Amino acid sequence: MSELEEIDPLVRLAGTVAHELNNIFTAVTGNLSLLESGAQGANAGVISDVLRTANRGIELSQKLQAFAGRQKLNRTLFDLNQSVATVITGLKRSVLRNVDIDLALLPAACFVMADEEKFHQVLEELASNAAAAMNQRGWIIVRTEHAALSSREVGKLPDGQYVKLTLRDSGSGMSQDVMRRALDPLFSTRPGHQGWGLARCAGFLRQCGGEITLTSTKGQGTAAAIYLPKRN
């Protein structure tokens, strides 16, 4: 049994628990908001503190749902190439402003069915990680291509036609131990980061029938590959 198959029941359990917790915290915050509106003095302060804590619980449960592939999605058919170009253009004005970018996109449209806004968030997360790994300076290659996969050639994906998006950077790379844990929730090598970013990316892509893989060598950069089912 593969490592992915071993943890799959735990991921499903986490998603179920997160869903129930989200319902509970939502009810709690709704009632606390009503109490807060009429509270005065010390009681108002206590209620505000409890409300903030409950809202943190909602945020955590939503992160768990995203990791487990149970978040609410607005799926639409969109051209992945155009979406990538739009996001990268925006990032050139911010986190990638000092980075050399090579866009190697397929000339024809590559349609996929997913939540485009959350797909943008995946790209932003990958680009932010890449920029941090090379101290905001270096190069990134963004490439799209068609991929015909056999069953379980990549993760648990069934055989079929996919659009593959690769983002390769010239950063510091990762050790094999770090790379194995990079998609785990609550794991991060960046100070001040909780490590939910890549875990949520993986959960979202798997919920859309896709996958993400990482390849890296310490001192030689990292490549993140995204696979999404190709749609005509």
User: Is residue 146 located within the same domain as residue 212?
Assistant: yes
At 2, is the pLDDT very low, low, confident or very high (cuts 50, 70, 90)?
very low
User: Is residue 11 located within the same domain as residue 91?
Assistant: no
Tell me the residue range of the domain where 20 lies. Answer: 3-67
User: Is residue 108 located within the same domain as residue 37?
Assistant: no
User: Is residue 118 located within the same domain as residue 197?
Assistant: yes
* Contact partners, residue 194, CB within 8 Å, separation at least 6: 186, 188
Kindly report, residue by residue over 77-93, the tens digit of the pLDDT: 999 999 999 999 999 99
Contact 63/196 with Cβ under 8 angstroms? yes
Dist CA 107 CA 109 (whole Å): 7
Question: Would the pTM of this model clear 0.85, i.e. be above it?
Answer: no
User: Is residue 162 located within the same domain as residue 107?
Assistant: yes
Q: Tell me the two tokens of residue 112.
A: 């996929």
At 75, is the pLDDT very low, low, confident or very high (cuts 50, 70, 90)?
very high
